[in-house]
Amino acid sequence: MQILVFSQNSIIKVLDAETKEPMAYVNVCFESLVSAKKDYTITNINGEATNICTDKCIVSLSFVAYKTLFDTLTANKSKTFYLHADVFNLEQVVVTATRTQKALKDAPVITQVITSENITNRGIENVKDVLEQDIPGLEFKRGGFGTDIKMQGLDAKNILILVDGERLAGETGNNVDYSRLNSDNVERIEIVKGAASALYGSQAMGGVINIITKKPKKKLEISFSSKYAQYNEINYPDLSYDDEKYSFKKNLDLPNLNVNASVGFNLKRISGRTDFSAKTFDAYQLYDKKAITKEFTNIDTVIYDAKNPFALGINGYKDYSISQKLKFRFSKKLDFQLNGSYYNHDEYDFVPDNVFQNYEDVSFGGKVNYAFSKDNSVVFSYHQDVYRKYDFYEKLDEKSKNYENTFINPKLVSNINIGKYQKLTSGLEYLSDELLSDKFSTDNLENKKAITSVFFIQDDVSINKKLSFIAGGRADYHTVFGVYISPKLSAMYKFKKLSLRGNYSKGFRSPSLKELYMDWPIAWFVIKGDENLQPETNNYFSASAEYTKDWLNTSATVYTNFLKNKIDGVWENGQTVYQYVNVSEATINGVEFLAKIKFLKHFLLRGAYSFLHDERPQGELPSSASPHSGNLGLSYHYTKKRYDLNVNLTSIIIGAKDYAVKEFINYQGQNVEGIYSVHFDAYSIWKLAVSQKIINGINLTLGIDNIFDYTADIVSFNSSTSPGRRLFVSLKIEVDKIVNKKVFNN
């Protein structure tokens, strides 16, 4: 048996290059230059770790929001290392743009990254708010039937949202259930705009948002967090148990409360993490503050000083979720992962009918990763997600299912390096999309199904350190519309501190099962699908320039998006049938600017602007997205020993817009659809969050949402639905950092 004896002084120390303070929990990797064996550890509370090299090795030190440092080290040698902050996250490894690991600075398409620190320091409790505050050209709208997202002029049905690279089942108004996304379990969010169907297939013609969840790093890690915000509105302040509608009313005054807990472990051969989340949200109503004149453009009618007497109801809810991950490392070449989750959500509206909506989701899957060598691997994965909707009858205390969507998605992906400068990625994929719904038949639940078989390939070539290309394509065979090919080509050229990128990609979206088969009577009309629908397609072109210095990172992107065979609903048979059809072509042009500036040592200023021009044939309604939008943020960061202070002032800025509204009115004795224009003024919503690490492992955040108490004058699904100014407080406790015992560390 070989016994390793380390010198008493064989210690490495890691310090912050700016503050010279010790850095705890830095990941350290020792790779032997003789045997290529890798060993791992992390630094303790004093920023120290034992030098476990047995011969000459390469040591790499990595920590979130810092640049990774590589150096050489010999056995029994002590050394101090200084890590520099990665202010702009350019060293952050991302996977979404190419489906392979690349540093953000080397991604061929500009990729935006939001880290877990950004979320915690601003006291944000849901992924929706994170995206809205940080991504220019992205808007969320919320109304009675759910939340809607728009990005670069395209809506939710053209934007693919993934969790760890996997699709989510279930939708409402083409949107996934955003409440499923637990922000406390987010390691980072990667956003790629533009057609990405060459890698991700249908629905990715407008972009991909990939939410990467946290993995355990220590032997044992335990954390708790909670956030409480003011009520949005007290609807029933004097509610008593004797009220015959007590159950209905109490659910509309739930506290704005989030509670999260997680337990993780990372041992030599096995690691795992369990996450639990519970949320409640307070329902409220919004009313128009002023009247408008409705001048209908398609019929000879004007309604003066019209003020909507009805409220826009923002539903309340309560939900909880639990997820589990396990990873087994059989050897350096082979590992196996398992994961599963359960989610339950109750949605409360303002209709006193003793019925509310209940949503439930169960997902599970696994992944086998085999590395033939250091740079060549094959991954097989399986993912299944089942999302159900129910009508829950309060008085009967029972529920009736009206919707079930099932995704089954196995994949086989290989990454092979050909020499030093070429990486070939290819894969096979199978996607089964099955929907049980009451919208296909007037009598009962009916099941519809579509299957897609996929082959994709991508060649990543680096000509030299300055010039690289990525070319690829995807072939999808859909059981309804047949074969569709999605090519892509990207190029990147680096010249000193300037990076130039160019991109062409073709995207598509296959018709949904609802659009193909729906036959749903509502009151006096019927919504009908069409089995002969063709996929929506687009050709997306973009060019960007990015410039980076130590204190500055800025980029500009121009893009053109040519869309064809857009699927929309049109009225037929005297306004009695709402029919899904392929309507026409459209062109969307845009420009986006992003900038981050570090100044006066502790300050970071960031801003973004998006311009959108939507060209559609005469007679079609334009995009409801604002032509001008952006965001601003100013951060202050101060750290001293175990004290850490972050102050964040952020804003969402939405420009003015004119939007055409459809409304049914009585015209010459008939119920007719009229169209009139409404003007929405520009507005901004500001947020302040002050986050402090009081002692190591305890983070307290105090903040104000909507500082200037903005609410919309005219309330609709295209206006802000903010209830106004709200105070909040959040607390996160990381037990392993407080205790700092050996059992918690690697």
| Other Cβ atoms closer than 10 A to 78 | 15
Q: What is the pLDDT of residue 744?
A: 60
> Left, alpha or beta for 724 (phi > 0: left; psi -120 to 50: alpha)?
left
Let me know if domain 93-744 sits in CATH 1.25.40.10: no
Q: Which amino acid is at 687?
A: K
Q: With cut-offs at 50, 70 and 90, classify the pLDDT of residue 736.
A: confident
Helix (H, G, I), strand (E, B) or coil at 744: helix
Alpha-carbon gap, residue 701 to 648, rounded angstroms: 11
Query: What is the rounded CA–CA span in Å between residue 129 and residue 140?
Result: 9
* Beta strands 422-437 and 398-417, pairing class: antiparallel
d(CA 553, CA 219): 37
Q: What tokens appear for 448 in the block?
A: 């519809």
For 442, counting Cβ atoms within 10 Å of its Cβ (0-12 exposed, 13-18 middle, 19+ buried), the class is exposed
Residues 6+ apart with CB under 8 A from 133: 122, 124, 631, 633, 650, 652, 687
CA distance 631 to 627: 14
Average pLDDT, integer, range 50-72: 85
Positive/negative CA dihedral, 174, 179, 185, 191: positive
pLDDT in tens, 194-210: 889 999 998 899 899 99
Mean pLDDT of 321-341: 95
Instruction: Decide: 328 and 336 in contact? Cβ < 8 Å.
Output: yes
The pair phi, psi for residue 300, each rounded to 5°, is -85, 75
Residue 7 scores a pLDDT above 60: no
Tokens of 427: 């894969």
CB 388: neighbour CB atoms within 10 A?
19
Reference 113, options 135, 132, 137, 128; nearest CA is: 135
Highest averaged pLDDT of the listed ranges 175-184, 254-263, 709-718:
254-263
Burial class (CB in 10 A: 0-12, 13-18, 19+), 183: buried
Residue 433's nearest CA partner among 399, 476, 475 is 476
DSSP 124: -
The band of 90, judged by pLDDT with boundaries at 50, 70 and 90, is confident
- Cα distances from 582 to residues 56, 265, 467, in angstroms, run 65, 51, 41
Q: What is the average pLDDT across 273-277?
A: 97
Q: Would you put residue 309 in left (φ > 0), alpha (ψ -120 to 50) or beta?
A: alpha
State residue 359's pLDDT score. 97
First CA to last CA across the chain, in angstroms?
A: 23
Is 671's pLDDT higher than 80?
A: no
Say which residue the tokens 């869309």 belong to. 563
Rounded mean pLDDT, 138-145: 65
Tokens 């078989």 sit on residue = 453
Element (H, E) at 128: helix 127-134
pLDDT tens readout for residues 311-326: 888 999 999 999 999 9
**Angstrom distance (rounded) from CA 383 to CA 409:** 5
Q: Report the alpha-carbon distance of residue 607 to residue 553 in Å, rounded.
A: 11
- Confirm or reject CATH 1.20.1630.10 for domain 11-83, answering yes or no: no
CA atoms within 13 Å, Cβ hemisphere of 246: 6
Task: Quote the pLDDT of residue 9.
Answer: 59
Are the beta carbons of 340 and 363 closer than 8 angstroms? yes
334 contact partners, CB below 8 Å, separation of at least 6: 368, 369, 370, 371
Residue by residue, what is the 3-state secondary structure of 309-371? Answer: CCCEEECEEEEEEEEEEEEEECCCCEEEEEEEEEEEEEEECCCCCCEEEEEEEEEEEEEEEEE
Domain spans, the chain: 11-83, 93-744
CA-CA distance, 349 to 624, in Å (whole number)?
25
pLDDT tens sequence across 347-378: 999 998 889 999 999 999 999 999 988 778 99
Q: Beta partners for 726?
A: 705
The pLDDT score that the predictor gives to residue 639 is 82
Beta carbons of 136 and 634 less than 8 angstroms apart: no
* Cα atoms in the 13 Å half-sphere on the side-chain side of 39: 12
DSSP 122: T
Distance of CA 424 to the CA centre of its chain: 27
Q: What are phi and psi of 375, to 5 degrees?
A: -115, 10
Q: What are phi and psi of 735, to 5 degrees?
A: -60, -40
Answer for the pair 164, 219: CB distance below 8 angstroms, yes or no: no
Residue 143: predicted pLDDT: 53
pLDDT of residue 6: 39
Cβ(585)–Cβ(617) under 8 Å? yes
Q: What is the pLDDT, as a whole number, of residue 354? A: 87
The DSSP-derived string for 630-693 is EEEEEEEEEEETTEEEEEEEEEEEE--EEEEEEEEEEETTEEEEEEEEEEE--EEEEEEEEEEE
Token digits for 528? 């009908």
List, for residues 619-631, the tens digit of each pLDDT value: 455 466 788 999 9
Task: State yes or no: pLDDT of 8 exceeds 60.
Answer: no
Cβ atoms of 69 and 87 closer than 8 Å: no
Please report the pLDDT score of residue 623 as a whole number. 61
Give this prediction's pTM: 0.90
What is the distance between the alpha carbons of residues 501 and 208, in angstroms, rounded to a whole number?
Answer: 18
Distance between CA atoms of residues 90 and 84, nearest Å = 12
CA dihedral 77, 42, 28, 89 (to 10 degrees): -140
Query: Is residue 197 helix, strand or coil?
Result: helix
**Residue 199, helix vs strand vs coil:** helix
- Which residue is associated with the tokens 């970071």? 604
Mean of pLDDT values over 45-59: 87
Percent of the chain scoring above 70 in pLDDT:
95
Return the pLDDT at 106: 85
pLDDT tens digits, one per residue of 679-691: 888 999 999 999 9
Mean pLDDT of 266-272: 92
Angstrom distance (rounded) from CA 363 to CA 384: 6
Give residue 643's pLDDT: 80
Instruction: Please identify which residue in the block is written with the tokens 């989701």.
Output: 361
Residue type, 549: K
Q: How far is CA 401 from CA 344, 388, 522, in A?
A: 14, 7, 19
- State whether the Cα torsion 145-150-153-154 is positive or negative: negative
Q: What are phi and psi of 487, to 5 degrees?
A: -90, 165
Q: Are strands 207-213 and 160-163 parallel, antiparallel or unpaired?
A: parallel
Neighbours of 77 (CB within 10 A): 15
Judged against a pLDDT cut of 80, whether residue 661 lies above it is answered with no
- The pLDDT tens digits of the residues spanning 228-267 come to 999 999 999 988 888 888 888 899 999 999 999 999 999 9
pLDDT tens for each residue of 610-619? 999 887 665 4
Tell me which residue of 150, 131, 142, 134 sits closest to 650, measured CA to CA.
Answer: 134
